[in-house]
Amino acid sequence: MSALAADPDVIRIGNCSGFYGDRLTAMREMLEGGHLDVLTGDYLAELTMLILGRDRMKDSGLGYAKTFLRQLEDCLGLALERKVQIVTNAGGLNPAGLAEKVSELAARLGLDVRVGFVEGDDLLDRATELGLGSPLTANAYLGAYGIADCLTAGADVVVTGRVTDASVVVGPAIAHFGWQRTDYDQLAGAVVAGHVIECGTQATGGNFAFFTELPDLGRPGFPLAEIRADGSTVITKHASSGGAVTVDTVAAQLMYEIQGARYAGPDVTTRLDTVELTGDGPDRVLISGAQGEPPPPQLKVSLNTLGGFRNEMEFILTGLDIEAKAELAQRQLESWLPQRPAELDWTLARLDSPDAETEEQASALLRCVVRDPDPNKVGRAFSSVAVELALASYPGCSFTTPPGNGSPYGVYRPGFVDAAEVPHTAVRPTGCRVLVGAPSETRVLADVPEPELPEPLPVAPTKRVPLGRVAMARSGDKGGDANIGVWVRTDEQWRWLVHTLTVDRLRELLPETAGSAVTRHVLPNLRALNFLITGLLGEGVAYQARFDPQAKGLGEWLRSRHIDIPLELLP
């Protein structure tokens, strides 16, 4: 297969995976659903790197996403037949190992497949030297030029380790159009395209706030990007697939897991405040206007460590005197423990309703989470003591889970290293190794000043209703930080939102943000605000600092909160 698509002006890139564990049949669905030049898959997340790190501790030959091989066994022949190149970060901590497995699979299937891979992101052996401590995994986020080199060299399949999520899309675009390292606007446009499709069906209606508007959400299809030479892109999907591609479903994914108006990457810093979304027909959205700037001089590094051991017990509290029952259980358990763990956190979820018609509706949940470096302190010494309260505590005492041993938990933190310190390497199908140099031009990342705001709406009659009556939202995690993107559809709604939803108002609506720094970023082209809530998620998803450790529902909680909205803005 050629590294170039059939159309010199457009490359059509699809996605078949948004995370390790996504729909297994998606690769075949995308290959059979319509024309593609390249099919990508994103299998890595901060938690996934920890999982793969633990796999590698058990077997040094592992460390990659095994489900990718299952998909490929079913679909590799079909991809070759349709001349679709495959680019994936499923290599995880062992891209060379996965590339070897792909070659073995092809040989077993009797297929002539050229496999390239990208490595150099794994800095574990140099972590101490680079000032990164002693983590379990240490992987720099690489850019797209190693992928592009492998494709240009004729690879049918390219496997990478930890590249940025968008890089699996940007790399094929670079190979197709021949973009240079300073073609920042084009690179930025491709980064936006990659960011939109890398989470799979989140761009076609999955996790969409106004989901009841969508006609066919039974089984959303996976998205694809038609990237043009100038970096503009049309996001669409195969015509036969479910879900929908609208300006709002694309905006939802664009707002996912971002921070400020500058979206930093290893190849380019993308100005999200320049991006424009326009309908381009049924299930087609044009992304245009993206401007790029030189990337930062340092690469971000994903660092995972084993933080210790964790356990939890959950009490069911039913009926009257819920607060008093919770206080008794907490006081008893803490006084009965032979040794107090390093961390002992209580959460009372008041899910109960007065005069409830079912026992479940009359019940609240009291959760106790413990963490400690010593597994004995959070094992049976904790959970068995909790169970001992069953006949000695509040009336109706019971639990949702049986007692058990503690399990190890991970801690995520970001690190940073100079780009020149990372040996970004493309290994071509011939085995030739090519070192991808660091960018020659860089720029230190800085916040974008808040733009001039539109005039506020005149004072008008209001109604106290949920914010979600007019606003959409999408939230997610970046390590220990959470983001909430909020946007509206009309200019008048935007004039109201940008002056109403301030940092102080967000804190009022979401009391759990107390103690966290909150930063607001304004994206007027999208009629959107993005809030970065620092430290809300503790030390990352594996730490499980709150019951929603990836902040997936944080935006929906915000939308459910009541606020005074002008009547003229309500649908």
Cβ–Cβ under 8 Å, residues 190 and 169: yes
d(CA 142, CA 302): 11
pLDDT of residue 121: 98
Instruction: Take residue 354 and report the two structure tokens written for it.
Output: 């007065």
The single residue listed with the structure tokens 């983590």 is 135
- Angle at CA of residue 477, ends 471 and 481, nearest 5°: 100
The sheet carrying 38-41 orders its strands as 276-279, 285-288, 233-237, 223-228, 10-15, 38-41, 85-88, 157-160, 115-119, 425-427, 433-435
Instruction: Take residue 225 and report the two structure tokens written for it.
Output: 């990007």
d(CA 368, CA 386): 9
- How large is the angle between the packed helices 247-254 and 184-197, nearest 10 degrees? 100
pLDDT of residue 542: 83
Beta bridge partners of 412: 304
- How large is the angle between the packed helices 380-388 and 322-336, nearest 10 degrees? 130
Main-chain dihedrals φ then ψ at residue 554, nearest 5 degrees: -60, -40
d(CA 494, CA 168): 34
Sign of torsion, CA 193 195 197 201?
negative
Give the three-class secondary structure for 391. helix
d(CA 117, CA 433): 10
Cβ–Cβ under 8 Å, residues 434 and 423: no
pLDDT of residue 540: 87
d(CA 253, CA 200): 10
Residues in the chain: 571
Amino acid residing at 552:
K
Nearest 10 degrees: Cα torsion 327, 553, 256, 202: 150
Residue-wise pLDDT tens digits, 342-358: 999 999 999 999 999 99
Residue-wise pLDDT tens digits, 230-274: 999 999 999 999 999 999 999 999 999 999 999 999 999 999 999
Q: What is the DSSP code (8-state) at residue 354? A: T
Q: Is 367 exposed, middle or buried (0-12, 13-18, 19+ CB in 10 A)?
A: middle
Give the per-residue SS3 of 110-130: CCCCCEEEEECCECHHHCCCC
pLDDT of residue 47: 84
Cβ–Cβ under 8 Å, residues 498 and 471: no
Instruction: Take residue 67 and report the two structure tokens written for it.
Output: 């489900």
Beta bridge partners of 163: 142
pLDDT of residue 19: 95
Give the containing element (helix H, strand E) for 322.
Answer: helix 322-336
pLDDT of residue 2: 41
Amino acid residing at 63:
G
pLDDT of residue 4: 56
Sign of torsion, CA 557 566 215 227?
negative
**Cα–Cα distances in angstroms (integers) from residue 5 to residues 9, 31, 85, 114, 176, in the given order:** 9, 15, 10, 17, 7
Cβ–Cβ under 8 Å, residues 535 and 481: yes
How does pLDDT run along the chain (571 residues), one tens digit per residue? Answer: 344 577 899 999 999 999 999 999 999 999 999 999 999 999 998 889 988 998 898 998 999 999 999 999 999 999 999 999 999 999 999 999 999 999 999 999 999 999 999 999 999 999 999 999 999 999 999 999 999 999 999 999 999 999 999 999 999 999 999 999 999 999 999 999 999 999 999 999 999 999 999 988 999 999 999 999 999 999 999 999 999 999 999 999 999 999 999 999 999 999 999 999 999 999 999 999 999 999 999 999 999 998 999 999 999 999 999 999 999 999 999 999 999 999 999 999 999 999 999 999 999 999 999 999 999 999 999 999 999 999 999 999 999 989 999 999 999 999 999 999 999 999 999 999 999 999 999 999 999 999 999 999 999 999 999 999 999 999 999 889 999 999 999 999 999 999 999 999 999 999 999 989 999 999 999 999 999 999 999 988 888 888 899 999 999 999 999 999 999 999 9
